[in-house]
Structure 1
C-alpha cells in the first residue's frame, strides 16, 4: 500500500480483532483448554485478494488451512476482498465476515480506489463457521457527503446499545479537508445500518484508515476498551464506552514502530493467561511485509509492549495481510479443521478422450482440452458432504462451489448447506467401469447412475454400454 493506505489498512485489521474480541467474549470463556485460534486474512497480490484461513494451537505458531488455498472468494462488487473482519455473535449462534470490496491490479488502481472506489463492504454470514452464505454488498459510505470509498471494516458488540458498532475508513471532504476518517454506524444484522457518523478525525490533514478495538477484562488498567489507529503515529487509546470519550495512552514509537511500518494490526487475547498479542503487518528492512507479534500483559501500558524476535513465532507458509483472529471453542475448532484439511488438488482426466479434463465454464460442467485458466479444471476431492466413505468435488478457484447434479445435468453450484445439495454433490468412488486402475463415480442419491460425459457435457446417467463405461471412467491426476 502507499503510505497512508498501508497505515490505514494495518490499523483497520487491528480494530477488527479488537471488535472480534468483544463480540466473542461469552463463547471464548467457554473455550476448551485444548482449543486453538483461527486467523482469517488475505494475501497482497491480485490472485490473493480473497479469504484464507490459518490455525494455531498456541497463538504464535500458525499452520495454513486448505493447503494454503482460498476458502472464500467474492463474486460481487469488484470481485476482490481485502481486510476481512471476523465476528461472532454474543451467544455464539451466528458469524459474519465483513471485508473491503477492493481488488487492486484486477480492474482498479490505488488512485481509483481512493477517489472513486466502492462505497460497499462485502458480507458473508454463517451459523456454524464453515458453511457461508453467498456474499452480499452493504452500502456504508453512500450516505456520507463526498464519500469516495469504504475500507478496512471492523465490528464490535456494544452492550450499552445492544447492537454492533460497525466502523470503517472513508475518504471524504469535511470542513474543507479531504482525507480518510473513521466513520461508524450501528447495526443488528449487517443488512441495514444507522446513518454513518464520524468516529475518529485527527487534527488538520492527518488521515486515519486502520483502527481496531478490543475489550479488556476488568482488573487490567483503568479502561474497558483499547484501540489502535493508523494515523501516522499508531496511536493507542483507552475508553470505558465505545461511543464515549477516548484517552490517548501513547503510540508504537516506544518500540521503534512509526508511520507506514505498521499495517493491518490484529489484537488477540491468549486463552490460557493474561497476555495479549498485537499482530502487526510489519515492513521489514528488506521491504517485505509480514505479520509479527507484539506481546503485552497490559494493552493500556504502551511501555510494556515487546516486539517479538524471529524464531519465537511462525506465520506459516503463506503471506498474511490485514485480517482477524478468533479464539475457538472446541466444537468450532473441530468443525473448522474437518472442513478445511490440506486436501490435495486434483484433475479428472477422461479415460476415452485423454486430452480432455473435467472443468467448469460459466458454472457449467464439461470435458475440454487445453483448459484455460488451468484452475477451472482443478478440484479438491473432499470427504463427501453426507459423510465418510464418499467424495465431493470442490472447485479450487471457486471455493464453496461443488460439482452437483440437477435433473441429471451437472453444474458448479454454491453449497447452500441443505440436505438436498449435500446428496446431489456426493458420490462413491469405485473402480473404473472401463478400467479398474481408474475411477468411476456413483451417485449417492441415484445409485443406478454415474458421472459420465456425453457430447463433452457432464451428465448423470445409468451405464449399460461399452461406450458408456468409457465415458464414465476417469483418471484422478495431479
Structure 2
C-alpha cells in the first residue's frame, strides 16, 4: 500500500512451504519447484501525477529476480469487476496442486477511508488465463480494512493461511490470519502478529534452517521477526531495520542460483521507487544495500508480489502477453536516472517522473544505416533523438539525409561495462552518446568518467 502510516493500514504476509511433490524446496516468498528458473512479479501502477494510475493486475517476468520485463506493454492482464472495481497489493501463490491463486486488496485508488471485509481472488493454471474471479470474505469486523493479503501453506494445519492488515481493539495495525482450504471460504480469523505497535506489509519466508522469518514495515523501515513455528503470536522482532526514505511492502526473494536473499522495499508515495538489499544469512538479520545498477523495477510498478516459476512458464508468459515494444535506457554511473526528452531536449533524469512516456523509446533500424539504431519517441512518434551542434534533442524527421545521419547510432559493447551498451555516432564516428551535466550530447571518449557517461542499460 502507499498511504502514510497515520492514514493507512495495510498489512499482508507472504509465506511458503514445500510442495508435496518430491524434490520441492522452499525459496523466499514463494514455494518453488526444483525446476524453477525464473520469477513472476505481480503489481499495480501509479506515477507522480497519477498519469499511470492503473489498478488492474500487472505481471512482469525475470530470470534473475532483479531485472524485469513487463508483460502486455505494462498494461493489466485482468481487472477486478466487483467490489471497488480495482486492486492494490497483488500477490501470487503456487498452490499445493501446482496451479496458482492471485489475491489482492479490494481498493481502487487512494481512498484510505474505504473499508472492506473482502479481497479479490482469481484462479489460474498458468497465469496466461484467469478464472473463478470472486470476492473472498476474511472476517466480520466492522470499521476496519482487509488490506495487502498474502498467503502460505501451513503444513501442520493442512490449510492455507491468508494474512492481511486490520486494526485491533487497541486501535493499531496488526497482522491478522484467516484459514482456508479452497480460497472460497475462510475461518478462524485471529491476530497473527502484534508487537504492540503499528505493523504493516508483512512478508514471510518459511523453513530456513528450521526458522520462519517475517519482514514487515514499522514507521517507514523494514524490520524482521522470526519464529520456529507458524503459530499465531509466536513471532518476535529481531533484525536491524533498513530503509531508503519511507519504505514499505517488503518482499524477500531467494536467488535460484545461490544462497543470496534479496529484500525488495517500496517507497510509499504514489511515485514509488523500489530499493533492494541483499543478505546471505537471514539468521543475522542484517542487510546490505544493492547497487541500483543491478536491478530495475517494472515501469511505475507499486507494491509487488514475487514468486518463482519454471522456464517453461516464463517462456509461455512472454509468448502469451509479449514483451514491451519500447525500451528505457538506464545510466551506468547514475543508475537512478533514465534517458528522456524534456522540452524536446535529451537528458537523463531521476526516475520516476511524469510524463513517464518521455523515457520510452522504440529502438528502430537506423535512419541512415539499418545496421545502426535510431531512437524514436513513443509519445512523439514523428520525432527522433538526433544531435545538433553535438547536443541531443528530439526533432521531427524532415526526411533529409542530414537528419538521418544525425539520428543514427551504432550500438556497441558498453565502454564502461561490456554487458551494457554504448552508442557511437554514425556521422561523427569518433563521438559517442554521453551525458554531461545530465544533458545528452556526443563527444569523443577517453577517460574512465567519460566511458561511464557513455554507458547505458537497454531494458524496460
Q: Say whether residues 1:73 and 2:61 are aligned partners.
A: no
1:97-112 correspondence runs (5 A): 97-104=102-109, 109-110=111-112, 112=113
Distance 1:155 1:5 in 2: 26
Q: Say whether residues 1:246 and 2:235 are aligned partners.
A: yes
Residue number in structure 2 paired with 1:3? 4
Q: Say whether residues 1:297 and 2:280 are aligned partners.
A: yes
The alpha carbon displacement at 1:343 in A equals 7.2
The alpha carbon displacement at 1:209 in A equals 2.3
Q: Say whether residues 1:228 and 2:215 are aligned partners.
A: yes
Which deviations, in whole Å up to 9, do the C-alpha atoms of 1:121-144 show, x marking residues without a partner?
000011222211142101113x23
Distance 2:58 2:325 in 1: 16
Q: Say whether residues 1:38 and 2:40 are aligned partners.
A: yes
Which deviations, in whole Å up to 9, do the C-alpha atoms of 1:268-300 show, x marking residues without a partner?
11111111111100369xx94211211111122
Cα contact 1:84–1:99 (8 A) shared by 2: yes
Q: Tell me how many residue pairs correspond in the alignment.
A: 311
Cα contact 1:118–1:149 (8 A) shared by 2: yes
Which deviations, in whole Å up to 9, do the C-alpha atoms of 1:284-338 show, x marking residues without a partner?
9xx94211211111122123x111122121224x112112111111232232122
Which deviations, in whole Å up to 9, do the C-alpha atoms of 1:351-383 show, x marking residues without a partner?
xxxxxxxxxxxxxxxxxxxxxxxxxxxxxxxxx
1:320-331 correspondence runs (5 A): 320-331=301-312
Residue number in structure 1 paired with 2:90? 84
Which deviations, in whole Å up to 9, do the C-alpha atoms of 1:100-139 show, x marking residues without a partner?
000125xxx22x22xxx12110000112222111421011
Give the gaps of 5 or more residues in structure 1. Answer: 346-478
Distance 2:44 2:230 in 1: 27
Structure with the higher helix share, 1 or 2 = 1
Cα contact 2:247–2:265 (8 A) shared by 1: yes
Distance 1:5 1:58, change over 3 A: farther
Distance 1:202 1:332 in 2: 39
Cα contact 1:8–1:230 (8 A) shared by 2: no
Q: Say whether residues 1:332 and 2:313 are aligned partners.
A: yes
Distance 1:99 1:25, change over 3 A: farther
Give the gaps of 5 or more residues in structure 2. Answer: 327-460
Distance 2:218 2:236 in 1: 15
Q: Calculate the TM-score normalised by the size of structure 1.
A: 0.60
Residue number in structure 1 paired with 2:161? 165
The DSSP-based 3-state class of the residue aligned with 1:36 is strand
Distance 1:344 1:56, change over 3 A: closer
Q: Say whether residues 1:208 and 2:199 are aligned partners.
A: yes
The DSSP-based 3-state class of the residue aligned with 1:79 is coil
The alpha carbon displacement at 1:47 in A equals 3.5
1:135-174 correspondence runs (5 A): 135-141=133-139, 143-144=140-141, 146-172=142-168, 174=169
Which deviates more, 76-85 or 62-71?
62-71
Distance 1:240 1:321 in 2: 31
The DSSP-based 3-state class of the residue aligned with 2:187 is coil
Distance 1:231 1:344, change over 3 A: closer
Which deviations, in whole Å up to 9, do the C-alpha atoms of 1:1-28 show, x marking residues without a partner?
332178855x63xx33xx2576684772
Cα contact 1:22–1:214 (8 A) shared by 2: no
1:310-459 correspondence runs (5 A): 310-316=292-298, 318-342=299-323
Structure with the higher strand share, 1 or 2 = 2
Q: Calculate the TM-score normalised by the size of structure 2.
A: 0.62
Segments ≥4 residues shifted beyond 6 Å:
none
The alpha carbon displacement at 1:344 in A equals 6.8
Distance 1:186 1:166 in 2: 6
Cα contact 2:148–2:164 (8 A) shared by 1: yes
